[in-house]
A and B are shown apart, each in its own frame.
Chain A
């Protein structure tokens, strides 16, 4: 069989048809691409469907009138790939906006929410930002949740004048002027867990995290906190997905030593592997165990079982999902009515809070809602109180934003997470936290 592409009979026809197909495809996608995805970014059961039973929750203006007219477009970028799916957050933002749209919208106009799923490909993430800003011309970016989006896009958002409201992961979500997060991020959440264990009297800390981009930034936090408390700390990393959790757990416990503490920073499935391996080797009593906020999920508490009651101390950036309080109740009602398939948990809480903050901000806009007016309103958010967060949320004009810097501690008990410690401040041994506290005091 000869492979000379120039002499086979069929090849010219092949090539020509292929070329035409390519060109057609590109042109079609160029035109069809700007229509946006109305059905939401996912086909998973998270899509919202309004149910008519029970009293409808009131969001935004709360007047029960359906919004109509030219929609106000809001965009987001969310990681959705096999193995990592953060769409609970954007699905909840959408649920909240649906509630707002059924209650008078933003001064009468409905919100059109356009979450864009990405698969941790920097090129894709950068181009999705352009799609939202230039093709869709959204007025605000609310609900970003991605492993690397802040890092890839923060300069672009700055250049276009967007003040992003996100659930942050990458360091750039907490150190740049145009992004503010409703959560605390892995570094400060790990700090909180370390602080908790130190309060419980550990003699040494072993900090173990997953080996994904940003480990140096994240481990610097616990190191500072431990140094300030004069406690020695060993910083370890594990490649994920973990195949040998037994050795990982053993290594962590050895590093912590007698009377020490292990703080984990992993996604729930990986943290579960280590915790279960530790339990099977009888290690859960050898040291004290702490975990950053991803562990704060009833799914994990259920999988761990009662062997871990009061033995794992999880830093929680948000209140418990079953807490009393008007916002927590509204959160549960909104999910029931507009997002029945979205599970209760930190992710959906973050989505709810982001929706609430931005709705309140947009309602203050007088005149047309444009990129300038919308983002000015978002930046002007100050003293946003909610029982879901420990301290009031704010944006403001500052070189960096860490508005959520006061946390709780939770612990598993018989299959659910319950509160162990009430709100406490993240240590200002962290220079950025100290900076932010100063800005708070001045403003």
Chain B
């Protein structure tokens, strides 16, 4: 009798493939989580509409790809572009009036954007089975008995690249430093002669492009469904919470861990139905750990 069998668990052979699916899921969480933390570090806003923006872009891409004769890459560009434009517009319109408020208020405001987009999506694209095709999903390779497609690899790579670029950019470039200063204290930064509006606008634009690209990937990997993609951020938030919104690299790692644990619980049939609680459980454990040390974390206000 093997150890897993003694514990009433399936054998190792059964678990192995879930490591791969877990990493794939982790890639999904990591992309969303990193995308949100990046914007938080550059503007002080936790964009809870991250998923909704990407979702709407994906629907637009679907519409262009399936109901017009335009080539597919135009649809993909439209998705990314839509993400950039909507996020930029939001940032320019609602960023300055809320700039002096606390991080919580700014995050709640993005919920407003999420609801508007969610309502619009449900209205325009009624509930049907849709699929956003990407050419990279059709080919892949085998790892540990499981097929991995190139879109999953791209998603993981995208998350890693975003993390590295963000860290380097924020720390070693002038604009990056300006962004960090801006997120920390807008008024003082303005008095230092930093072109506040321009820096902010570029932060919003880049974040928007990222959410558009993420939307494209996630719509393909998870499914083209308005509610699923919008509320995917809740699971991804666990990764950001574990990293306490302060470290992009930690968010990336946390995303993978959450995805892995979630998938690894799948074959344990007795608790398999509760596996969607994984993000909450892990985030709570992380927060308990932090408050045990009784550090007052103010983050970036």
At the interface, yes or no: A239 with Cβ under 8 Å from chain B? yes
Decide: A272 and B223 in contact? CB cutoff 8 A. Answer: yes
Residue of B nearest to A234 (CB): B269
At the interface, yes or no: B227 with Cβ under 8 Å from chain A? yes
Residue of B nearest to A272 (CB): B129
- A239, A267, A268, A271: the one contacting B273 at CB < 8 Å is A239
- Chain A residue numbers with a CB within 8 Å of B267 are 251, 254
- Chain A residue numbers with a CB within 8 Å of B127 are 83-85, 267, 269
Residue of A nearest to B262 (CB): A244
Decide: B223 and A82 in contact? CB cutoff 8 A. Answer: no
- Chain B residue numbers with a CB within 8 Å of A242 are 222-223, 228
- Chain B residue numbers with a CB within 8 Å of A84 are 127
Q: How far apart are the CA atoms of A271 and B118 in the complex, in Å?
A: 22
- Chain B residue numbers with a CB within 8 Å of A236 are 269, 272
Name the interface residues of A259-308: CB closer than 8 Å to any CB of B: 267-273, 276, 280-282, 297, 299-300, 303
At the interface, yes or no: B202 with Cβ under 8 Å from chain A? no
Decide: B21 and A246 in contact? CB cutoff 8 A. Answer: yes
At the interface, yes or no: A247 with Cβ under 8 Å from chain B? yes
Closest-CB distance, B244 to chain A (whole angstroms): 24
Residue of A nearest to B151 (CB): A280
Q: How far apart are the CA atoms of A237 and B231 in the complex, in Å?
A: 20
- Encode B18-62 as 1/0 by CB contact (under 8 A) with A: 100110110010000000000000000000000000000000000
Q: How far apart are the CA atoms of A68 and B225 in the complex, in Å?
A: 45
Decide: B130 and A82 in contact? CB cutoff 8 A. Answer: no
Q: How far apart are the CA atoms of A282 and B262 in the complex, in Å?
A: 22
Decide: A303 and B147 in contact? CB cutoff 8 A. Answer: no
Q: How far apart are the CA atoms of A44 and B269 in the complex, in Å?
A: 42
At the interface, yes or no: A120 with Cβ under 8 Å from chain B? no
Q: How far apart are the CA atoms of A306 and B161 in the complex, in Å?
A: 35
At the interface, yes or no: B247 with Cβ under 8 Å from chain A? no
Closest-CB distance, A213 to chain B (whole angstroms): 14
Closest-CB distance, B126 to chain A (whole angstroms): 5
Decide: B130 and A269 in contact? CB cutoff 8 A. Answer: yes
Name the interface residues of A211-249: CB closer than 8 Å to any CB of B: 211, 236-237, 239, 241-248
- A247, A299, A300, A303: the one contacting B25 at CB < 8 Å is A247
Closest-CB distance, A256 to chain B (whole angstroms): 13
Instruction: Name the prevailing secondary structure of the B interface residues.
Output: helix
A244 with B119, Cβ < 8 A, contacts A83-B227, A251-B272, A280-B147 known: no
Closest-CB distance, A382 to chain B (whole angstroms): 36
At the interface, yes or no: A429 with Cβ under 8 Å from chain B? no
Residue of A nearest to B130 (CB): A303
Decide: B137 and A280 in contact? CB cutoff 8 A. Answer: yes
A247 with B263, Cβ < 8 A, contacts A82-B119, A273-B222, A280-B137 known: yes
- Chain B residue numbers with a CB within 8 Å of A241 are 223, 225, 227-228, 231
At the interface, yes or no: B14 with Cβ under 8 Å from chain A? yes
Name the interface residues of B212-249: CB closer than 8 Å to any CB of A: 222-228, 231-232, 235
Q: How far apart are the CA atoms of A276 and B140 in the complex, in Å?
A: 14
Q: How far apart are the CA atoms of A236 and B275 in the complex, in Å?
A: 13
Decide: B25 and A268 in contact? CB cutoff 8 A. Answer: no
- Chain B residue numbers with a CB within 8 Å of A245 are 222-223
Residue of A nearest to B223 (CB): A273
At the interface, yes or no: A365 with Cβ under 8 Å from chain B? no
A243 with B227, Cβ < 8 A, contacts A83-B127, A251-B266, A280-B137 known: no
Q: How far apart are the CA atoms of A255 and B82 in the complex, in Å?
A: 42
Closest-CB distance, A289 to chain B (whole angstroms): 15
A44 with B21, Cβ < 8 A, contacts A82-B118, A272-B223, A273-B223 known: no
At the interface, yes or no: A436 with Cβ under 8 Å from chain B? no
Q: How far apart are the CA atoms of A246 and B25 in the complex, in Å?
A: 8
- Chain B residue numbers with a CB within 8 Å of A237 are 273
Q: How far apart are the CA atoms of A236 and B22 in the complex, in Å?
A: 19
Name the interface residues of A69-83: CB closer than 8 Å to any CB of B: 82-83
Closest-CB distance, B220 to chain A (whole angstroms): 9
Decide: B273 and A243 in contact? CB cutoff 8 A. Answer: no
Q: How far apart are the CA atoms of A281 and B263 in the complex, in Å?
A: 15
- Encode A75-115 as 1/0 by CB contact (under 8 A) with B: 00000001111000000000000000000000000000000
At the interface, yes or no: A439 with Cβ under 8 Å from chain B? no
Decide: B131 and A276 in contact? CB cutoff 8 A. Answer: yes
- Chain B residue numbers with a CB within 8 Å of A297 are 128-129
Name the interface residues of B1-25: CB closer than 8 Å to any CB of A: 10, 14, 17-18, 21-22, 24-25
Decide: B14 and A281 in contact? CB cutoff 8 A. Answer: no
- B119, B140, B235: the one contacting A243 at CB < 8 Å is B235
Decide: B25 and A244 in contact? CB cutoff 8 A. Answer: yes
Residue of A nearest to B276 (CB): A239
At the interface, yes or no: A330 with Cβ under 8 Å from chain B? no
Closest-CB distance, A82 to chain B (whole angstroms): 4
Closest-CB distance, B52 to chain A (whole angstroms): 12
A303 with B122, Cβ < 8 A, contacts A241-B225, A254-B267, A272-B223 known: no
At the interface, yes or no: A381 with Cβ under 8 Å from chain B? no
- Chain B residue numbers with a CB within 8 Å of A267 are 127
6 nearest A-B pairs in the assembled complex, by CB-CB distance: A268-B129, A241-B228, A82-B122, A246-B21, A303-B131, A273-B223
Excluding A85-B126, A244-B266, A280-B147, 16 further A-B contacts by CB distance (< 8 Å) are: A44-B126, A82-B119, A239-B276, A242-B222, A243-B28, A243-B228, A246-B21, A247-B21, A247-B22, A250-B266, A251-B267, A269-B130, A280-B140, A299-B128, A299-B129, A303-B130
* Interface residue ranges, A against B (CB under 8 Å): 44, 82-85, 211, 236-237, 239, 241-248, 250-251, 254, 267-273, 276, 280-282, 297, 299-300, 303
